Each structure stands twice: as structure tokens, then as C-alpha cells.
A and B are shown apart, each in its own frame.
Chain A
Amino acid sequence: MNLLAQLPTPTNFWMSPNGSTLLWIEIIGAFVLGFAAIFGLSYLPKNLRKPLIGIATFLGGLYFMLHYLWPTAQDYSKDQVPKGAVEGVSFWLQYSLPTVMNFNQVLSGLLLGLGIASLLRIHAERVAKRHPDWMYSLTLIVCMGLMAIFGLLDWASAIGPGQAKQVADHPGFVNFAYNFLFGGLFVNLDAVMYSMIAFFIYSAAYRSFRLRSIESAVLLGTAVLIMLSLMGGVMVGWDKVVDMLGGSGHGAVAEFMSNLRLGAIKDWVQNNMQSPSIRAIEFGLAVGVLAMSLRLWLGIEKGING
């Protein structure tokens, strides 16, 4: 968004050419100002900080609420003038979005930096003090460093006209190293962690599915039926047996028997037990999140500590 687009003589303060000295001065200036603002805020007394946070939260919430609820202009483009005030607000909401989101992303980046600093502090301390598990901490620090270095080098190697194609055709050491670390290690380790869930589901089911009461018997029976319905072979076989017992023809017996098909039982459970209970829980959660959001937005959230 260009906030100054409507000015008669457009200024290009916000649009300094790439690589220009002015752009560098702006970047460094913004960096220094941003840090000064953040440190300034962190030293503000609590009674001053609270209303400031409250106002920022309210304005942020108002913006996104308007974004969701305000009538949206259709098929607009940047070279068009809005018709009426409603469309004017709609245009403003749409075009200001990238700027607002940039704020969001810059803040997220900064906070990620804080998170990484915390992580490094904990693990560097462990390595320095030769904590019993210091080798794990060292591994983490080394991996984090390597990933950051090769990630940046890989990214930098593809900048410039024709460089991306050059890298794709003739990858260098940094590209290979990055691919090895990300595609070869990280992505696969990610998959390893995910697949471990199968083992945990297995042991949790073994321990918890016990016929201790009537309720647990109902739960176990339903679970077994649903599990059977996931196995196509069992489903086909079950239905054949039902058909043999009279489910495939016409008449009252056949109609009754068709209810005993595995698919029909599964559908009944899904439609009449599973879905309604999930919906009920979801309604409760939605109302809960609405109340919590409202309290946060209006600054009346007290928390447990007041």
C-alpha cells in the first residue's frame, strides 16, 4: 500500500530504488528506531504500559473485525476510484492489509529472535557447565548454526538475474549442503516423529480399551465396528454375509437386514453419535473463544492473577 498515493505530487520516500544509499539509510534508521521503541516500551512503568497495550489490542482487533465484516467491494482494481464511503472504506481495508501484515511479520521475526536467544542461552549454559546431557545441547547449537549458515548461503546464491536457473542446473556445495540438511535430514526426521504416533496410538489403545464398565463396553464395541469399517476386505465380507442372510432382496426382512450392513452401522454411528457430539463440543469451544476474545479485545481480561 502506498499511503501517499492520493497526494498530487507523489513522493518516493517509501519507494527508494533498490540498492540506493537512501534505501540503506532508511533501513538502518528504521532498525534503530524500531529497537529504540521496543526497549523504550519495555522500560515503561506497568501502569503506563497496560493502557498502551490495551489501545493497540483494541485497534488491531477493530481493524481485523472490520476486515471480516465490512461489505467487500467486488472486482476492484488499483486504478479505480471507490463509489461512495462504504466502498472507500472497503478499498482502504483491502489496500492497507499488506502493510498491516508486514507489521505482523516483522514483529513475528523479532519475537522469533527472542525465542532463539532463549534457546541458545539455555543450551550454551548447559554446554559451558558440562551438564550431564551437554552433548545434546551442543548438537542443537551446531545444527542450528549450520542450518542458518547454509540456508542463508543457499538463498544468497540464487539472487541475481539468471542465478536461480544456474543454481538449479549446477548446484554448488552450499546448495548441496542445504538440501542435505533440510530435505535429507530435517524433512525426514519430521516424518520419523510423525510416524512414531502409530506406536503411541497402539500402546495407548492397548492400555485404555478395557471392558471395565458398561460405558467402556459401548465405547469398545463402537470403536471395533469403526475400525472394522476401515478395512475394505472386512466390509465387503460382512456385507456378503448380511446379503446371504436376506439383506439383498426386497421385503421387510431384507429391509431390516440391510441395517446390519457394516457401512450402514458405520454411517449411523457417524451421523447420529459422532458428528452431533463433535458439533456440541465445537459450539461450546466457539462460544468460549468468543468470550475470551471479547475480554481481550475490550481489555477486560483479568487473568487468574487479576
Chain B
Amino acid sequence: MDDPQVKPQMSLGAKLQSVKRHVLYLTLFGVVSLSLILSHLFSIQVPSQPQEYTKEAYKLIRNLHEGDTIVIDTGATNASRGENGGQMEALLRMCMREKVKFVMYSYVEPQCIEVARAMIANINLERSKANPPEPAYKEWDDFVILGFFPDGATMLQTAAANIRDAWGNKKAKDPSGAERSVFESPVLQNIKKIEDIKVYVGISPTNIMATIVGRVGKRVPIISMIAGVMFPEQFNYYKSGQLAGLLNGLVGAVEMENLMQNGIDSQGVAGGKAEGPPIAAPFPGEINLSRGNSYYFAFCCAISLLMLTIVVGNVGMYLERKRKN
């Protein structure tokens, strides 16, 4: 509304208060682009302090056992890859290293499944290039993708009552190429009720947790990996004990990657070196610091620029008031 026209005789204070939008946008574009390039060229690592809710999520996922099955309920789209991308990749890496099986679906958008498939393929490629190469994670044997459900709330309501009824009509291809019920796959063959799922992870930029907590809450430990803007709302679910862990947007992805790198020691300190078996061990020598960390420097630069701009606006207001008085 109050976007006064910039006139030639404007005072400095007025000018600082009414910087044109295109100047602001160009500055942001320049700063973020430059910081991304610099971060890539010089591998800039910004330190981070993992928060309690991220540590809880890491502890839960890190202490899963080989053969356990988890649910990945994805709402991550190409648009939200800046935040959900790092979270999803960290989760997939951990599952594959621990040989944890997962079942994946979406009810946010059909493209979420394609986005997730591309990420799985990328991490499989990364594993094939490791030294020594690690086996690829295979659909049917290690994970199944149930696809898109048009009505997530009803599906979850049914799954809470009878998981086999909710997902029973979903089919997947076994290694021979034959289509069979997903419940015949090694991933789901031992799953009889929702409680058999060890962890339910929701990754999304939108609030899918209201649906999940309302339907399967208390039955399965739930972890929410959410975009930063939705964090304050999700934090309530964590504080009330309805979420077992929580990742706060890009910062959460960075914290998770750092926990994968450094672990949580026996005293509960992230990256600590206390004696005794760690509460959640790290994955030394593997690719841990990835997408989240590569965006973090640019994120910090953008926030710094935002604060600087706020200061500029306020200085302008102060100068203008002083001039008028």
C-alpha cells in the first residue's frame, strides 16, 4: 500500500525507507546466487547446533534394526526440494545403510512419488560409486512404493483399523516382473497391523501431521520433517508428545546431516566424545554432509541480508523522523 513514489528531491531517510522492489529482489537474487556458488567452490561449512527435536528424530531412526519396516509419507515436491530434499536424502541414506525397509506413498501430489523415485535413484548411484561399492536398494526387496492415494485421511483411518485392508489392493512388480500384492513383498510380508510399522515419517512442506496424528498417533512413533514455515505449528505436536521427532526445514536437514556425521554420545551430546556406547552412533567416512549443508551458507547469507535490509529501513525511518522534527 504505502509505496511512495521515489522523487529526485527525496531525502536520504525517505530513500532508505522506500527502496524499490526490483532493487530488493535483484539484491536477494545476487546474494543468494553468489553465496551458493562460493559455497560450492570453497565447500563452506557453517557449524550448527542440533536441537532436541532433531536429536530425538535421529536417535529413533539410527537405532532401527535391519529388516524393520518404516513408512515414508511424502509430500516433498520439486518445489520444496530446498528443504524437504535434504531431509529426504538424509533419511534414505540412513535407511539404506541400516538396511531398514520402507514403504512409501503420498496423498499430497502425484509428482511427490516421482520426486522421491529420482532421489532413491540418485542415492543408489552414489552407493554404486562408493569404495567399495554398496549394493543398490531394490524395489520389492528393500522398499515398496504404494503410489498416490487421492484421500489420505480415509486411507489412514482404514490403515489404523486394518492395514491390510487399506493397502491390500496395491500391487508391485517382483524381480521376475510379475505383479503381486505388496503384502507378499519382503517389506510388508510381516506387517499385520499398524503397530508393526516401527516409525512413521511424514516429509512435506504442508501440514499433513494433523491427518497423521489424528489417525495413527499413539499407535506408531511419528517423525515430522516439515518446511520451516510450518515448524511453529508442528512444534505443538512435538511438545504435546504426539511427535517423536521433528525436523525444522533446511536447518533440520543440516542438523540431521551433522548428526549423521558426528552422532550423539553416551551423555546425549551431539558430536560429544564421552566414554561409553553412544546413544546414536555416527556414520563415519560416508557421505553425510550433503544437500542440506550445501544450501546452508546461502540460507545464512539470505537471513543476514534480510536483517540488514530491515536495519536500512529503520535507519531511514529514524533519519526521516529526525529531519521532520
- Residues from chain A with a CB closer than 8 A to the CB of B157 are 67-68
Decide if A227 touches B307 in the complex (CB within 8 Å). yes
Residues of chain B from 1 to 37 with CB closer than 8 A to chain A in the complex? 2, 19, 21, 24-25, 28-29, 32
Q: CA–CA, A14 to B25, complex, Å? A: 60
Count of CB-CB pairs between chains A and B under 8 Å: 144
Q: CA–CA, A35 to B271, complex, Å? A: 65
Known interface pairs A94-B158, A198-B28; 14 further A-B residue pairs with C-beta atoms within 8 A, sorted by A's residue number: A74-B162, A75-B162, A90-B161, A165-B177, A187-B77, A203-B24, A205-B310, A210-B313, A211-B314, A231-B303, A232-B300, A274-B232, A275-B232, A278-B236
A279 at the interface (CB under 8 A from B): yes
The dominant DSSP class at the A interface is helix
The chain B residue sitting closest to A98, CB to CB, is: B169
B residues whose Cβ falls under 8 Å from a Cβ of A? 2, 19, 21, 24-25, 28-29, 32, 46-49, 51, 77-82, 111, 114-115, 150-151, 154, 157-158, 160-162, 164-165, 177, 192-193, 228, 232-233, 235-236, 239, 251, 254, 296, 299-300, 302-307, 309-310, 312-314, 317-318
Decide if A278 touches B233 in the complex (CB within 8 Å). yes
Given the known inter-chain contacts A74-B161, A202-B309, please indicate yes or no for A105 contacting B232, CB distance below 8 A. Answer: no
Q: CA–CA, A199 to B28, complex, Å? A: 7
A residues whose Cβ falls under 8 Å from a Cβ of B? 67-68, 72-77, 90, 94, 97, 101, 104-105, 162, 165, 182-183, 187-188, 190-191, 193-195, 198-199, 201-203, 205-207, 209-212, 220, 224, 227-228, 230-236, 239, 263, 270-271, 274-275, 278-279, 282
Decide if A206 touches B165 in the complex (CB within 8 Å). no
Decide if B25 touches A199 in the complex (CB within 8 Å). yes
- Shortest Cβ gap from A293 to chain B (Å): 15
Q: CA–CA, A211 to B254, complex, Å? A: 33
Decide if B313 touches A202 in the complex (CB within 8 Å). no
Neighbour of A230 across the interface among B233, B235, B251, B309, CB < 8 A = B251
Decide if A75 touches B154 in the complex (CB within 8 Å). no
- Residues from chain A with a CB closer than 8 A to the CB of B233 are 278, 282
Q: CA–CA, A210 to B303, complex, Å? A: 17
Q: CA–CA, A207 to B4, complex, Å? A: 12
- Residues from chain B with a CB closer than 8 A to the CB of A101 are 150-151, 154
Decide if B24 touches A198 in the complex (CB within 8 Å). no
The chain A residue sitting closest to B48, CB to CB, is: A232
Q: CA–CA, A234 to B115, complex, Å? A: 33
Q: CA–CA, A274 to B114, complex, Å? A: 36
- Residues from chain B with a CB closer than 8 A to the CB of A195 are 79, 82
- Residues from chain B with a CB closer than 8 A to the CB of A203 are 21, 24-25
Decide if B254 touches A232 in the complex (CB within 8 Å). yes
Query: What are 11 A-B pairs at a CB distance below 8 A?
Result: A75-B193, A76-B161, A94-B161, A206-B312, A212-B317, A227-B306, A228-B307, A231-B46, A231-B300, A233-B47, A263-B51
Decide if B158 touches A97 in the complex (CB within 8 Å). yes
- 10 smallest CB-CB distances across A and B, nearest first, come from A232-B48, A194-B79, A191-B79, A72-B161, A187-B78, A231-B300, A209-B310, A199-B25, A233-B46, A206-B309
Decide if B78 touches A188 in the complex (CB within 8 Å). yes
- Residues from chain B with a CB closer than 8 A to the CB of A235 are 48-49
Q: CA–CA, A75 to B161, complex, Å? A: 7
- Residues from chain A with a CB closer than 8 A to the CB of B24 are 199, 202-203, 206
Q: CA–CA, A275 to B237, complex, Å? A: 10
Decide if A191 touches B310 in the complex (CB within 8 Å). no
Given the known inter-chain contacts A74-B162, A232-B254, A271-B239, please indicate yes or no for A227 contacting B80, CB distance below 8 A. Answer: no
- Shortest Cβ gap from A288 to chain B (Å): 15
Q: CA–CA, A165 to B139, complex, Å? A: 14
- Residues from chain B with a CB closer than 8 A to the CB of A194 are 79-80
- Shortest Cβ gap from B72 to chain A (Å): 20
Q: CA–CA, A232 to B45, complex, Å? A: 10
- Residues from chain B with a CB closer than 8 A to the CB of A68 are 157
Q: CA–CA, A230 to B303, complex, Å? A: 9
Decide if A202 touches B162 in the complex (CB within 8 Å). no
Q: CA–CA, A235 to B24, complex, Å? A: 27
The chain B residue sitting closest to A234, CB to CB, is: B300
Q: CA–CA, A232 to B184, complex, Å? A: 46
- Residues from chain B with a CB closer than 8 A to the CB of A77 are 162, 164-165
- With a 10 A CB-CB cut-off, give which of A67, A202, A234, A271 has the most chain B CB atoms: A202
Q: CA–CA, A202 to B228, complex, Å? A: 15
- Shortest Cβ gap from A208 to chain B (Å): 9
